[in-house]
Chain A
């Protein structure tokens, strides 16, 4: 009898300890799980994102111009941190894309307007991807993501191997002809750090471009994200760009 009760006691104690241990450990695990399930922009403050309303863009190209001025991007027509493309979709399904000098030169009217079904402008820039392949492939870690979600290139460390240029599915990077390093949109990091808007958002006359803090539930971009039907470019790539488009046509690549 004595023997049995001791066994009983040990069993109960072990059981109780197990239950308590589960409780004790599960609480932080639960919290950690919740933390990691949430999108990163809910975790860090601030966490920058960008949005473009294609239905509002008029193709004036002022963003591309402002970006070149603000960031001293070479003026030649191959180097852009942001540019505007025009899509012309014809009745026979043909798609024409043009971007004269990145949209800074006037878009000429199509010579055969009667064949055109629809046409629209798509401003492009780096999406500061959550899973950025460019950052992953850089052999020296010169491409990196900041705490607040911006993908940057360290100009002083980049060796100019151009591997990142191959890795970006959106053609957002170019090779700087003077500095001989990779270059791309910085989300005007020098400006946003001071609480200013990016240069392109600043000059956009129609409000087609939007920049803001995704971690702030009251910011305009969060509202946009939560209320509009948006899409990202090449979602199948799994890069998760923080660049949302409203009104994205299936022909846009």
Chain B
């Protein structure tokens, strides 16, 4: 118990400490979060009328971001499966960053749903009885509450347990985490499936009422998530003493390669079904792709998304993206492309035209955008903070009773931390990037 307390205290101290770049980054994020909070207070006082949403387009940027982030959270599974099922070596050391990303993403998801509520003070109504009144199993939204919170719990537990054991310099007990890891695989698929069913189940919105939505969501999630993790890993190895082999990046590149191809294929399949013999339900797709009766607010967005996803897929397929520079570019494109395609490109067209055939377009207001930026900034803040504490634990610098920078504490002479491979890891032909001087 005392050790746990010490673990938390030392981690907190680690989070509070850093160089000027760290402080600048964190203060910037904090400022943006506060700006978002301020915008949210405006919305709280004046209601959802401060957003661009209307009676016609009654879900907007909040739900779009929510959908995207559920995917980011689910993407951790693309590292968990190779590591724990196939015992993939290069990914072994970085799988925890996926789990930590899942935690930050779910927090953002919950925030995005909360800011979207008209009566946020009643959010506890969504809790299971006896606290709230749960319309379970009828409502997909109550399913979502269960699976998202469950996923948050599982990931927080697994990542927390492994880090804590590392901190204690103990071998983690398999029985205490492997069952949860396996559960998290099923659970990750379930969070995105349930989120897809949320839309897919609505016969009233033909654009969503398509059986391909759940597979599409998974494919896009496994594109954007691992791509984002690649970018994160690049930053981690640039700014911290933690060594990450190129092999890990290349393994994730394989995942993104396959996922982005499937994603575009599924999108094309949907496009074909809607447009080959357009029935009355094809209007939404027509609006999205080409505009309808002179309204074409989403056309530039979706074509941008498709174009940069196409560039991303080309880059990923070419050997060029074996070099980290091109890989990074491809990943940025993949993340942004999916964000547009799955957010604005998926939520908004379902409302245009509305069930009565009226066309009312949607444009987020400044206030609404600020809230979104605030939530994102807060998510990055959390993610950075967790990483800040996790990395020194993983390198072995932060440990129980450990004296940093000694030979026993896992440091080689000269203050460079020994790469920490975890059980059974043998770097074979992996190219090491010089991590530079240790963190401080």
List residues of A whose CB falls within 8 A of some B CB.
Answer: 78-79, 85, 97, 133, 136-142, 157-163, 165-171, 174-175, 177-178, 180-181, 237-238, 253
Contacts and interface: CB of A to CB of B under 8 A. Distances in A.
Tell me the dominant secondary structure on chain A's binding face: loop
B401 interface: no
A139 B118 contact: no
Given A163-B141, A175-B118, A237 B126 contact: no
Interface of B: 47-49, 54-55, 58-59, 113, 116-120, 122-123, 125-126, 132-135, 138-142, 145, 198, 201-205, 350, 354-357
Tell me the dominant secondary structure on chain B's binding face: loop
Contact of A175 (B58, B113, B125, B139): B58
Given A161-B118, A177-B49, A139 B204 contact: no
Given A167-B202, A180-B119, 10 more contacts: A79-B55, A85-B356, A136-B139, A141-B134, A157-B122, A160-B117, A166-B202, A169-B355, A170-B204, A178-B47
Contact of A167 (B48, B123, B204): B204
B55 A133 contact: no
Given A137-B139, A139-B135, A162 B47 contact: no
B55 A174 contact: yes
A67 to B, nearest CB: 16
B66 to A, nearest CB: 11
B140 A137 contact: yes
The residue among A140, A169, A180 with the most chain B CB atoms within 10 A of its own CB is A140
Contacts of A174: 55
A165 B54 CA distance: 11
Contacts of B48: 160, 175, 180
Given A133-B202, A133-B204, A160 B58 contact: no
Contacts of A157: 122, 125, 133
A175 B198 CA distance: 19
Given A78-B55, A161-B117, A171-B354, A138 B47 contact: no
B54 A140 contact: no
Contact of B204 (A85, A161, A166): A166
The residue among A133, A139, A142, A238 with the most chain B CB atoms within 10 A of its own CB is A139
A28 to B, nearest CB: 29
B145 A139 contact: yes
Contacts of B204: 133, 166-170, 237
A139 B357 contact: no
A165 B138 CA distance: 16
A248 B145 CA distance: 41
Nearest to A99: B356
B58 A140 contact: no
A162 B118 contact: yes
Given A137-B138, A166-B204, A169-B203, A159 B133 contact: no
A181 B119 CA distance: 7
Contact of B355 (A85, A160, A162, A253): A253
B141 A171 contact: no
Contact of B125 (A85, A159, A163, A238): A159
A157 B139 CA distance: 16
Nearest to B44: A180
A163 B119 contact: no
Given A139-B142, A140-B132, A237 B203 contact: yes
Contact of A140 (B116, B134, B350): B134
B419 to A, nearest CB: 48
16 contacts: A78-B55, A137-B140, A137-B202, A138-B135, A139-B134, A139-B145, A157-B133, A159-B123, A160-B117, A161-B113, A163-B141, A166-B350, A169-B355, A170-B355, A178-B47, A180-B48
B138 A136 contact: yes
A141 B133 contact: yes
B356 A161 contact: no
Given A139-B145, A161-B117, A97 B139 contact: no
Contacts of A237: 203-204
B58 A161 contact: no
A109 to B, nearest CB: 21
A138 B145 CA distance: 13
Nearest to B201: A137
Given A159-B122, A162-B59, A174-B55, A253 B357 contact: yes
B135 A160 contact: no
A96 to B, nearest CB: 10
8 closest residue pairs by CB, A with B: A160-B118, A180-B118, A139-B141, A169-B204, A140-B125, A160-B119, A141-B135, A139-B139
B251 to A, nearest CB: 39
B138 A161 contact: no
B139 A138 contact: yes
A158 B119 contact: yes
Contacts of A180: 47-48, 118-119
Contacts of A160: 48, 117-119, 122
A28 B278 CA distance: 51
A141 B55 CA distance: 22
B328 to A, nearest CB: 38
A99 B290 CA distance: 27
A85 B354 CA distance: 15
A79 B355 CA distance: 16
B59 A166 contact: yes
A142 B142 CA distance: 13
A253 B75 CA distance: 40
B203 to A, nearest CB: 5
B188 to A, nearest CB: 22
A242 B139 CA distance: 23
Contact of A159 (B58, B117, B357): B117
